[in-house]
Amino acid sequence: MTSQAETARCPIDSSAEPACPICGAHPAVARFEGKDQLFGLAPGRFALFRCPSCGCIFQNPIPEPSVLAGFYPKAYWGTGDPVQGSRWARLFYRMENAYRELSVAGHARFLDSCARKRPSAGKRLLDIGCGDGVFLHVARKHGFIPYGMDWSVQAVERARARYGLDVRGGEIGAGIWNGMRFDFVSMFHVLEHLPDPRAALSYAKELLQPGGALIIQVPNASSLQARIFGARWYGLDVPRHVVNYTPKALRFILREAGFQFRLSSRFSLRDNPASIASSLLPRLDPKGRKARELQSRPVFNAAAEMAYLGLYSLVLPAAYLESACGFGETLWACAQGDKIVE
């Protein structure tokens, strides 16, 4: 029997001449073949093309949503509280949770900077693709009124149980927020997963108060590390990232959706150094190890955690330098539908 994952295998067809899904330029150029180096859930290789105009890198063909859903392990949205397990397991959990809160503090500061430019606005925040809610938990400490949504049942349950958040399950486009509007809508590392990013931007725009701001973060496909690592770049996350944005591609789709925006290549403690580390040694990546259930081997897990922490620390200066030179791994946007955020 052929599995969904097997049917999604997409080797490069040299005769294919797809159009760019973002700007429509034609034909895109066959770039390379990528594989699921993080989780190993999708066998085979996937064809990646680069747009000759906006520079985005995209899969062709893009798998159906039902197939894409099978490429996400349960551990993708975080792990549950360890009610059982060794003292070391509980200690590692507390350390990991503290790090995760620290790593999204930069996201909250970026949100703060956007809010300061709109002093008369409220602070009601909706995070689309909120996962287990750690960012919303930190944003609440910054004075925001947090709401979240995610299509993962496990993520919704964890966000509610762990942080007591108002998080609702549903796909983008669902009417779960009928009658509600938000001062801020955030989508951190969401757009690159979506076969139809235009629908997501339209949905977010409808949920914003007049003058509200959309906060976006995506990996930067024109970053220095993307150019160095090529098909091994962690930011591609084949096959879960179906469209990988450059600054030009993100500008194009935001303008098309009617947003005015400020776009920047900023440092992210959570993403920039981790992307280099996991590109170098994907088998050490903590999320990948959890998905492969390697954390059930305490001695191996402790050694792997220390090795990854050491590698992360070694590449941290390079990640800072990359961002300081304007070629950082992470693109951030603060966008409004009616006027520019100065």
318: domain CATH number is 3.40.50.150
C-alpha span between 41 and 4 (Å, rounded): 11
- Model confidence at 47, pLDDT cuts 50, 70, 90, reads very high
pLDDT at 98: 79
Task: Report yes or no on 207 lying in a domain.
Answer: yes
Average the pLDDT over each of 5-9, 52-56, 149-153 and give the range with the smallest value: 5-9
How many domains, the chain? Answer: 1
Q: What value does the mean pLDDT take over residues 94-100?
A: 76
pLDDT at 12: 52
Task: Report yes or no on 52 lying in a domain.
Answer: no
Percent of the chain with pLDDT over 70: 87
| Half-sphere exposure in the Cβ direction for 227 (13 Å, CA) | 8
Mean of the per-residue pLDDT values for the chain?
Answer: 87
**CA proximity to 97, closest of 73, 129, 132:** 132
Collapsing DSSP states into helix, strand and coil, what is residue 270? coil
In contact, 104 and 123? CB cutoff 8 Å: no
- Model confidence at 160, pLDDT cuts 50, 70, 90, reads very high
pLDDT at 7: 40
C-alpha span between 118 and 215 (Å, rounded): 14
Percent of the chain with pLDDT over 90: 67
Task: Report yes or no on 299 lying in a domain.
Answer: yes
- What are the φ/ψ torsions at residue 298 (nearest 5 degrees)? -55, -45
pLDDT at 90: 65
pLDDT at 121: 76
Task: Report yes or no on 283 lying in a domain.
Answer: yes
Dihedral, 281, 287, 290, 292 alpha carbons, nearest 10: -60
Q: Which residues pair with 261 in a beta bridge?
A: 335
- Model confidence at 303, pLDDT cuts 50, 70, 90, reads confident
Question: How confident is the model over 173-185, as pLDDT tens digits?
Answer: 999 999 999 999 9
Tokens at 86, concatenated: 């060794």
Task: Report yes or no on 85 lying in a domain.
Answer: yes
| Half-sphere exposure in the Cβ direction for 334 (13 Å, CA) | 23
Residue 199: domain span: 74-336
DSSP state of 245: -
pLDDT over 80 (residue 144) = yes
Query: Which contacts qualify for 148-154: CB closer than 8 Å, 24 or more apart?
Result: 149/174, 149/176, 149/177, 150/77, 152/72, 152/76, 152/77, 154/74, 154/77
Predicted TM-score (pTM) of the model is 0.89
pLDDT at 281: 94
Task: Report yes or no on 282 lying in a domain.
Answer: yes
Collapsing DSSP states into helix, strand and coil, what is residue 214? strand
C-alpha span between 262 and 251 (Å, rounded): 9
Task: Report yes or no on 190 lying in a domain.
Answer: yes
